[in-house]
Amino acid sequence: MGMLTRAKKRRLEEEENRIDRISSLPDAILGEIVSLLPTKDGGRTQVLSTRWRHIWRFAPLNIDLLHCPRRQRVRFDQISGILSSHKGPGHWLRSPALDKLQVLEFDLICSTNTRLLASAQRFFSTLRIASFGGCAFPVGKAALALCFPVLEQLSLSSVRISECLMHALLAGCPVLQSLLLDNNDGYLRLRIMSPTIRSIGVRLRCTTLEVYQLIIEDAPCLERLLLSGLVGKMYISVISAPRLHFLGQLSKEACPRIQFSTVTFEGSHIISLTMVVRSVKALALSYMDDLSVDAVIDFMKCFPCIEKLNVEMGRRIAGCRKYQDLIGSLDIGVKKIVMTNYIGCRTDVCFAKFFVLHARLLESMTLEFQKPGKTSSVLIEKQRRLLQIENRASRSARFYFVSCNYLCSGPNCIVCAQQVHDLSADPFVRLHHWT
């Protein structure tokens, strides 16, 4: 009797171990479990049992192509096939759960040959923040739908869009505050007229010989113009931007010509100057080969109200020759100076020392060394001696010697979305650490 009891007990334990407790969970929990699986494995759960057959079709769906090998790129008709058999959230942007969507990041990754999906256009009337990447904007009648009545932030990255459509798109954003244009194609000339825009970022990585022209025709609220690019690609004309506060990075490589109504620069040389620009308070400069004190003074003459100066140190740094006889009478009103890519060589020291000895309103100077671990106490003491800090023109100025693992890349320094869209932050604060 005892033996039968033990055998029966063993059978009961085995049966209990075979019980499918997971299947007894509510559909909502099972759906969350399935949604965490890769798309292929999630689809396979339909064959487990009749209990599981409907779970995948109504579970949240996330198709991630970021880690898909290039040779196995999924075609969009394949994606549509997956989505056509899937009734849950994520159904090609048509789910009712996405009604009144306010933030959209639409990045097709692959190339600019794929048209922006019509299903994304139903959100245009409610979007406040939008980012489009790796796609082509529609043409013809579909282009008439490009109206974003409440859009405040717009990022276009590696998109194909014609000049005419680009202007129509901007005209369809009546409350736009910030705009990032990153390596786009289809237009070479862009005129911006916006009563609301406060921040513009342009990153150009074009390798052709064609020249990109950016014309700020009328932007009464524009506060920041952030730039980066490749050799000889961008001509900039600022006709009307009375509140422009942040400007940079300027370099002869990225911006061979820049014009502010009455002021024209070619590289670091003033071509014409009939009236100064007093709105600019923060300026970032990048001259890999021919940075000089004279060039910086030229910029300060054109922008006499500069309070903060960010300078990327270059390979050849010249001293003050053109203004040598006027040094005593120069009015250098800059209060904060940040020098990146600093290595502490003789030319670096001579450049920095000029401002140490002649910037009477200087409050702080930060010298950022290229490599980590370079700011030993011995090095700092040597630099303080070479810079003649004890003889500084501003007795209240403070000097900071810092190191980082950042290797400056000149005019290709990244202008990122956070710099452009975060209007509460100084875009030049530790510029190189933004990603």
Top-confidence residue, 183 or 390: 390
Residues with Cβ within 8 Å of residue 61, at least 6 apart in sequence: 35, 39, 42, 82, 83, 86, 88, 89, 90, 91
Q: Which of 90-94, 255-259, 333-337 has the lowest mean pLDDT?
A: 90-94
pTM for the model: 0.75
Torsion sign, CA atoms 343, 349, 353, 354: negative
Each residue's pLDDT tens digit, 253-280: 656 677 887 777 776 666 667 678 899 9
pLDDT digits (tens, 9 = 90+) for 13-60: 666 566 666 777 787 777 777 777 776 777 777 767 777 777 766 666
Cβ atoms of 350 and 388 closer than 8 Å: no
Q: How confident is the model at residue 112 (pLDDT cuts 50, 70, 90)?
A: very low
pLDDT for position 42: 73
Please, what is the average pLDDT of the chain?
A: 77
- 370-389: pLDDT as tens digits: 765 666 888 899 999 999 99
Q: What is the pLDDT of residue 22?
A: 74
Torsion sign (Cα): 337, 339, 344, 347: negative
Domain ranges of the chain: 24-60+79-92, 177-433
Q: What is the pLDDT of residue 434?
A: 36
**Confidence band of 286 (pLDDT split at 50, 70, 90):** confident
Give the mean model confidence (pLDDT) for residues 409-433.
70
